Amino acid sequence: DQQVKQNSPSLSVQEGRISILNCDYTNSMFDYFLWYKKYPAEGPTFLISISSIKDKNEDGRFTVFLNKSAKHLSLHIVPSQPGDSAVYFCAVPHHDKVIFGPGTSLSVIP
């Protein structure tokens, strides 16, 4: 059973608009969340994180929002740029491991 879910396998957004990528999790004990970004032919790279003591974390064009009661988080990219086109993984460190969601492929159209 998937503990970290990303229900949208793909998303297309016009350049300059906002991209919103969603992630849901099942375990209310999870208290730290990560977003990774992956370009083709490269490994995933860490993008941004959020701790459960916060409901928002911002880094430049990237903001992650956490709704603990709904067990939901989202990554907002604004404004979206063509270079943001990649696969985005939501991930949760759990014990010594990291549990990854299945990823959402974002295409930013010029």
Partner 1 sequence: DAGVIQSPRHEVTEMGQEVTLRCKPISGHNSLFWYRQTMMRGLELLIYFNNNVPIDDSGMPEDRFSAKMPNASFSTLKIQPSEPRDSAVYFCASSRLEETQYFGPGTRLLVL
Which residues of this chain interact with partner 1, rule CB under 8 A? 34, 36, 41-46, 49, 89, 93, 96-103
The CB-of-16 to partner 1 minimum distance in angstroms stands at 30
Q: Which is nearer to partner 1, 40 or 110 (CB)?
A: 40
Q: Which is nearer to partner 1, 64 or 80 (CB)?
A: 64
CA 34 from chain centre, in angstroms, equals 7
Q: Which is nearer to partner 1, 36 or 80 (CB)?
A: 36
Cis amide bond preceding 79, omega within 30: yes
> What whole-number distance in Å separates Cα of residue 29 and Cα of residue 104?
24
Of 4, 2, 1, residue with least CA distance to 71? 4
The CB-of-45 to partner 1 minimum distance in angstroms stands at 7
